[in-house]
Structure 1
Amino acid sequence: MNSLRQRQTTVQTATQEVHDDPVTTQVLRRLHYYHELDDWQKDNHFIRSGYVKETSSYRECLKSLTYLHNESMNIYTHLIPSSIVFWSVLYYINYVLTEYDNYLGIWEKLNFLQFATACTFCLFMSSAFHTIKAHSHKVSKFGNQLDYFGIVILISCSLISIILFAFYDHPFLKYFFVVLTAVFGTICTVLTLDPHFASVEYRKFRATMFIMFGLSGALPILVGFYMWGFQHTKERSGMIYLILEGVFYIFGAVLYAGRFPERLTGIDKEEFLKNPTPGMFDIFGHSHQIFHVFVVIAAFCHWKALVQCYHFMHQYILTV
């Protein structure tokens, strides 16, 4: 009995210390459960806690960078890479990448840089959106459109970067695939501007659209099979890395659309309202975070493919 009383006293003391700490109390006041949100903020009911409620303040949104909530990992998994990608690529192409005697001019480096710029833009727009999404409904919708636009830009520039190197010796096909990619990118951009596109109902459609746009990059590969055969196309296009890139993108998008693994911890709505409890994946490990990590890995795979295309172009295409 004395032992039980001691444990109760310890818990009460610890709880009181937490609430007496002004910093901890301030953070606790900022975070909310899913059912406490305004309707426009409700998106994934499997994530039950850790929400920053509408702030109507950019300053408060920026302050959210300093404490842990359920968007923190969504922010930093893209903010940190976006801060280093461009400068890393710039250093690599100037000090590490082999410059061949048959160097074709500044456009080669610009091709690397356009991919790096697109990657930086996409990752930064993503982290910016997740930072300001609690500001207001209007700001969240605009930020969401920028996020999707960043994805379109990254996919477009990724495909074009490979095409420019892999089809260098076939100008007609090169420009045909570049224009085709630009057309697909424009269509996707127009769709992202539709107010309904960011709604919960369009979640699976969004994932499918981006997957299909990315898979359009298989068309140049198939043409390569017809023209050069499997082995030559594999080396010319960096195909193994492109396949890995596609696997990470698609798997991440499927998890995002299916809200896995957080759906494994879903509970009955009435039960949750009676006794609100955090979910296992609210702060770490939910589908959107996994998708973000896979996007970064996929971008690195694309970089490896692009470097391979560069070397193949100089060692084989330009020596014929």
Structure 2
Amino acid sequence: MPRVSLSFPSAHSFGPVRLLLNRLLPSLPHPVRDTSVPPLFREPHILHGYRPVGLPWRCYVFSLFQVHNETLNVWIHLLAGVCVALRFTTFVLFRGGGILGLRLQGPEGQGLSLDLASLPLVLYVFSSLTYLSCSTAAHLLQSHSELAHYSLFFLDYVGVAVYQYGCALTLYLYSSEPAWRHHVKGEVFLPAAALLACLSCASCCFAKLYYRRPYPLHRKLCQVVPTGLAYFLDISPVAYRLATKNWASNSALPLHGLQVMLFMLAAFFFSCPIPERFSPGKYDIIGHAHQLFHLLLSLSTLTQQEALFQDFLSRRAGLVREFGEEPLLLACASFPCVALCSAVTALTMRRRVQTRVRKEQR
């Protein structure tokens, strides 16, 4: 295997850093053309920048610092995860005392009690970090092998399902209006959101496993339709507020409106390979549709987090009184159930991949 140095945009600007990395990190092979990797690892209209398949795991880990067609996909969600964590930390420290769920109680400040009103927000932040972390790992490491490719993207779909239900839970509890809950039968909303999150994970795993390149149109529909239905259900309490309330009356509403716009744009670029469809090879490293999808989805998440912070602060005091302690606990307890169901689906699909790979290797 040839030994080559890592690729950086400017050798003159980053010369000392590049020299240090070359000494500390293993040398990596140059990215290759699409014809040099199996069809499974190719993306439509992306011709260059693929990492060779079958390298040691450390090569894919250290390819975080190499320029290839997944570099920006990885870094966008990695940095978004850091931003989510840092913003939540600053919010806890300066605005949301006791938000981590435990606070001192008693006449002499002894003992601990659960701050139930803040628990859904903690679960939402956890769900955001989950999907961003799973996506980062999938795009960074998926080129290792066929089994790794399938397994990591199944994990990515688990992260998406967890995030979907995390959104549904917090939007229902913090951002919904009593009139909306009465109209849509609020007791049905969370079970339906949980079902659609699990269905979204299962359908994406199924589409990934059973369709081979060149992918037919119904593969994309199998991914987009359940995920789209989940989003439209999850966002319905916000849509009601946006349609019935004066946006100037609440600081969270413009943020919710911006989040919807950013998510719709992200969904467009996820569904359509634009701009690379019109200039194959030109946007291999920077500017292809999946990078734009990652960027817009990350901005959507950060915007939604800010909106939920505002809703949380305005509704925290009366949340337990409005919903009741037991329903709140039950709603929060449903979150790990959705995560477990999605994980079991992904593991089941992974076993089928293992069986297929063994048969193909005989």
What range is the shorter-chain TM-score in? 0.7 to 0.9
| Aligned-CA RMSD value | 3.4
The offset of 1:223, in angstroms, is 6.2
Deviation of residue 167 (structure 1)?
Answer: 4.4
> 1:211–1:249: 8 Å Cα contact kept in structure 2?
no
2:168 maps to 1:146 = no
Q: CA deviation at 1:80?
A: 2.0
**Residue 157 of structure 1: how far off its partner (Å):** 0.6
1:163 corresponds in structure 2 to: 172
Structure 2 counterparts to residues 122-141 of structure 1, below 5 A: 122-141=131-150
CA offsets, 1:189-213, max 9 Å, x none? 2223322379633235423432332
> Bigger CA drift: 235-244 or 49-58?
235-244
Deviations 1:92-146 (A, max 9, x none): 124224789xx99612322221111111010010010011111001110111111
User: Which residue in the other structure is 1:92 paired with?
Assistant: 91
Quote the Cα distance in structure 1 between the aligned partners of 2:210 and 2:248. Answer: 40
The CA deviation at 1:168 is 8.1
Q: Deviations over 1:288-319 (max 9, x none)?
A: 11111111110122112212322332589899
| Aligned residue runs from structure 1 range 151-230, under 5 A | 151-167=160-176, 173-194=185-206, 195-196=209-210, 200-201=215-216, 202-221=219-238, 230=244
- Paired with 1:237 and 1:217, the residues of 2 have a C-alpha distance of 20
**Paired residues of 2:164 and 2:234 also in contact (CA < 8 A):** no
Q: Which residue of 2 aligns with 1:288?
A: 290
Query: How many corresponding residue pairs?
Result: 278
Task: Write out per-residue CA displacement over residues 242-296 of structure 1, whole angstroms, 9 at most, x where no aligned residue.
Answer: 3322221221221122111111213xxxxxxxxxxxx221111111111111111
Give the aligned partner of residue 118 of structure 1. 127
- The CA distance in 1 between the partners of 2:204 and 2:320, in whole Å, is 40
What fraction of aligned residue pairs are identical, expressed as a percent? Answer: 17
Are residue 258 (structure 1) and residue 269 (structure 2) matched? no
Instruction: Give 1:87 shift.
Output: 4.3
Task: Name the CA shift for 1:115/1:314 in 2 (closer, same or farther; >3 Å).
Answer: closer
- Indicate the residue corresponding to 1:39 in structure 2: 39
Counterparts of 1:246 and 1:206, CA distance in 2: 20
Select the residue among 293, 303, 307 that pairs with 2:309.
Answer: 307
The letter of the residue matching 1:86 is A
- Checking the alignment, whether the CA contact within 8 Å between 1:162 and 1:237 is kept in structure 2 is no
Partners of 2:270 and 2:293 within 8 A in 1:
yes
Structure 2 CA distance, aligned partners of 1:83 and 1:197?
Answer: 34
Question: In the alignment, is the contact (CA less than 8 A) between 1:249 and 1:295 conserved in 2?
Answer: yes
Q: C-alpha separation between the residues in 2 aligned to 1:81 and 1:177?
A: 29
Q: Secondary structure at the match of 2:129?
A: helix
Could you tell me how far apart the structure 2 residues matched to 1:317 and 1:233 are?
Answer: 22
Deviations 1:214-253 (A, max 9, x none): 111343356669xxx8127996894443332222122122
User: Unaligned stretches of 5+ in structure 1?
Assistant: 1-20, 267-278
Of 232-241 and 106-115, deviating more is 232-241
1:248–1:298 contact (8 Å) kept in structure 2: yes
Structure 2 portions without partners, runs of 5+: 1-18, 104-112, 323-362
1:106 aligns with 2:115: yes
Mapped partners of 2:145, 2:33: distance in 1: 17
For 2:66 and 2:149, locate their aligned partners in 1 and report how far apart those are by CA, in whole Å.
20
Q: Which residue of 2 aligns with 1:61?
A: 60
Q: Which amino acid aligns with 1:185?
A: A
* Shift in CA distance, 317/191, structure 1 to aligned 2, threshold 3 Å: closer
Mapped contact 2:199–2:226 kept (Cα < 8 A) = no
1:96 partner amino acid:
R
Kept in 2: contact 1:112–1:161 (CA 8 A): yes
Contact 2:196 2:226 in 1 (8 A): no
CA contact (8 A) 1:236 1:309 kept: no
| Aligned residues of 1:191 and 1:197 also touching (Cα < 8 A) | no
Q: CA deviation at 1:188?
A: 1.4
Q: Is this contact kept in 1: 2:131–2:163, CA < 8 A?
A: yes
Judged with a 3 Å threshold, the aligned counterparts in structure 2 of structure 1 residues 209 and 244 are, in CA distance, closer, same or farther, namely: farther
1:48–1:38 CA distance, 2 compared to 1 (3 A) = same
